[in-house]
Chain A
Amino acid sequence: MKLPRGRLVRSRVVSSLATPLRTVLDRELTGYARLESQDAMLLDADGAGVLTFEDGVPAVAYHTGTDAGGVDALADIAVAGPHRLELYELDESALAEVHDADELVVPPGLAAEHLVGDGDLADRLREAGPEDRTAADHDRGLDAVASFLEDEERIDSIRDRARAEAESRADEWGFDVTDGG
């Protein structure tokens, strides 16, 4: 997916994409976000996620590291945070070509549901998005979930890290740890 660089609107490390998605919607921004994982522990942290916007509403998604597009790319981006976010503004004409690529399209509410887990924001985006793209929103959401559940290595890494976190905090919090539980 080739995009012109555009005008840099902001660049920062974010632990949640809730605020950036809200800002983009409130400003009705047309352009794209480049999301580079800051978590070197992730197996496939190479590359970056790209999410484009049309009038503040997510339009297409792509991941340069996994070469996934559409909802699969959202699944790759979702568990890769915290991210370095670079937000660029672009003219709509510069995005026309990629926005026509069906395999990259994401239903408007899905980015909020799968990147942030925010149902209210997802509803706002669905209302703001074009009707033809909102129709299949819910059903496509399960594609992202299915894609996530296919990735056993990633899920193992989430579980391993949570377990390590729970064990290290057990000392701090004074909880007993079960051997081999």
Chain B
Amino acid sequence: MVEAFAVASGKGGTGKTTSTLALGMALADSHEVTIIDADTGMANVLFHAGLADVETTLHEVLAGEAGVEEATYERFGMTVVPCGTSLAGFQEADPTRLRDVVADLAADTDVILLDSPAALSSRTAVLPIVLADRVIVVLQPTVPSLSDGLKVQEYATTYGTGIAGLLFNRVTAEEGIERVADKTERYFEGDLLAAVPESDAVRAARRASRPLLAHAPDSAAAAQYREAAESLTVRSGESTAVADRFRSAVIPDQP
């Protein structure tokens, strides 16, 4: 069984990568979890997961220079596929190969989390949303972030991808969040999974190159991510069927 989630927000700075790894670790208590850094132009996962020094990344896989297994790393109870940071690596990578990478990894895992680009402006940026079964929309309680989150939802549903839930992140006025939470849910197809407070623990974890749930498991933010993971019902599908679906996704060659 496997379900692929895109963790997306449409705008940068919402804490997508922190959220991807935190949800991944929380889900790893009960599932086999694979994290893929699908933000090939602005890699971040490697810095959050202590993988900054690894030689082979998704870039080499997407460039056809390495097999997927060479770019997978077992860290923090999860399988992590980081992306590299070099411009050359990005330029040589063929993003449409991501479909095959997801298909290959789908065979051996329960949950795939795709850390997605903070944009909707190109086919590469939208591809993870198209490939995923459902999207987890990461929102900050600000007008631009909500506006962008709505756009992510419309893109996803237009391309046949569902909404698994919403995550309010970097919440600074915790007492007040409830009065906007209900109104926000009215416009989204998924429920609010949790509201994660802005936290020094998140910054400290990032500096330590460790996921929040490894670095500060007792923090309030970590507790909210665990709550979000519990609220998320992972749907099972036959992994071979899923793999076939990814392989047959209609993505023509680059023009």
Q: Taking beta carbons and an 8 Å cutoff, which residues of A are in contact with B?
A: 74-75, 78-79, 113-119, 138-139, 141-142, 144-146, 148-150, 155, 158-159, 162-163, 165-167, 169-170, 172-178, 181
Contacts and interface: CB of A to CB of B under 8 A. Distances in A.
Contacts of A114: 142-144
Contact of A176 (B11, B186, B250): B250
Given A163-B158, A174-B250, A175-B250, A117 B173 contact: no
A172 B186 CA distance: 32
B121 to A, nearest CB: 9
A141 B141 contact: yes
A150 B179 CA distance: 12
Interface of B: 11, 13, 123, 126, 130, 140-148, 150-151, 153-155, 157-160, 170, 172-173, 175-177, 179-180, 183-184, 186-187, 250-252
Given A74-B143, A163-B154, 15 more contacts: A114-B142, A119-B170, A142-B176, A142-B179, A144-B142, A149-B146, A159-B154, A162-B153, A163-B158, A167-B158, A170-B159, A174-B251, A177-B158, A178-B157, A181-B158
A168 B13 CA distance: 28
7 contacts: A79-B143, A117-B144, A139-B176, A149-B183, A162-B151, A175-B250, A181-B160
Contacts of A139: 173, 175-176
Contacts of A159: 150-151, 153-154, 187
B93 to A, nearest CB: 17
Contacts of B13: 117-119
Contact of A162 (B145, B154, B172): B154
B142 A166 contact: no
Contacts, number: 117
Contacts of A145: 141-143, 146, 180
A162 B247 CA distance: 27
A7 B181 CA distance: 43
A148 B142 CA distance: 9
Closest 10 CB pairs of A and B: A117-B144, A162-B154, A178-B160, A166-B158, A149-B183, A162-B151, A173-B123, A138-B172, A174-B252, A78-B143
Nearest to A136: B173
A148 B158 contact: no
Contact of A148 (B146, B157, B250): B146
Contacts of B148: 117
Contacts of A158: 147, 150-151
Contacts of B141: 141-142, 145
B142 to A, nearest CB: 5
Contacts of A142: 141, 173, 176-177, 179-180
Given A155-B150, A158-B151, A162-B150, A173 B126 contact: yes
Contact of A181 (B123, B151, B157, B250): B157
A173 B158 CA distance: 13
**Residue from B130, B154, B170 with most neighbouring chain A CB atoms (10 Å):** B154
A150 B144 CA distance: 15
A49 to B, nearest CB: 13
A176 B159 contact: yes
A142 B142 CA distance: 7
Contacts of B170: 119
Contact of B142 (A141, A172, A174, A181): A141
Contacts of A181: 157-160
A178 B159 contact: yes
A162 B157 CA distance: 11
Contacts of B157: 163, 178, 181
B155 A166 contact: yes
A149 B145 contact: no
A13 B206 CA distance: 38
